[in-house]
């Protein structure tokens, strides 16, 4: 995702009803929404609070991910510790293995010609972030599941 306009367009893919529902959620008309999205007629882009509202509506972490990437960080969603049981922990560990397998398979393919292109690097970075996020989630779930109850 290169710019904030692309960020909003990506979030709209997760909002049932698209621009019309997003505009209504922000309390603006559809035409104002479109003007702000494309900065037509001298209008300003969405505020940070509006971007966060759209993120909430979309059920994603895309805004957080966008700004985290701008400062070379990643976003890790806190797990729902109330539902962290032994089966969930097993699934978490399995997902880490799956993510590692995807990363390692792609890495082998990427280095097969002796050069990692910028596109391959971007994919590898995304796959690596997935491993880190899954590992930290499993860690947090494990700690939460084994804390003494009060």
Helices 4-12 & 30-38, crossing angle to 10 degrees? 140
pLDDT at 136: 87
pLDDT at 75: 86
Cα distance between residue 27 and residue 124, in whole Å: 40
pTM of the entire predicted model: 0.68
Helices (H), 13-149: 18-26, 30-38, 48-58, 62-70, 86-111, 118-145
Cα distance between residue 36 and residue 45, in whole Å: 5
pLDDT at 86: 60
Name every residue whose Cβ is closer than 8 Å to that of residue 91 and which is 6 or more positions away in sequence. Answer: none
Cα distance between residue 86 and residue 36, in whole Å: 47
Cα distance between residue 132 and residue 129, in whole Å: 5
pLDDT at 143: 81
DSSP state of 77: P
pLDDT at 28: 96
Query: What is the full per-residue pLDDT of the chain (150 aa) written as tens digits?
Result: 569 999 999 999 999 999 999 999 999 999 999 999 999 988 999 999 999 999 999 999 999 999 998 998 888 877 666 665 665 778 888 899 999 999 999 999 999 999 999 999 999 999 999 999 889 888 888 887 777 776
Q: To 5 degrees, how large is the angle CA 125–CA 100–CA 72? A: 25
pLDDT at 137: 82
pLDDT at 11: 97
Cα distance between residue 125 and residue 119, in whole Å: 10
């Amino acid at each position: 995702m290169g710019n904030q306009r692309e960020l909003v367009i990506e979030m709209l893919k997760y909002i049932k009803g698209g621009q019309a529902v997003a505009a209504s959620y922000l309390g603006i008309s559809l035409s104002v929404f479109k003007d702000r999205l494309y900065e037509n007629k001298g209008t300003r882009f969405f505020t940070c609070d509006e971007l966060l509202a759209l993120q909430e509506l979309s059920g994603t972490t895309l805004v957080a991910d966008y700004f985290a990437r701008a400062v070379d960080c990643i976003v890790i969603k806190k797990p729902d510790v109330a539902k962290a049981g032994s089966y969930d922990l097993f699934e978490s560990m399995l997902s880490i293995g799956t993510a590692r397998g995807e990363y390692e398979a792609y890495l082998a393919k990427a280095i097969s010609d002796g050069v990692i292109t910028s596109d391959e690097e971007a994919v590898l970075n995304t796959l690596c972030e997935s491993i880190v996020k899954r590992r930290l989630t499993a860690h947090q779930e494990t700690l939460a599941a084994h804390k003494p109850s009060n």
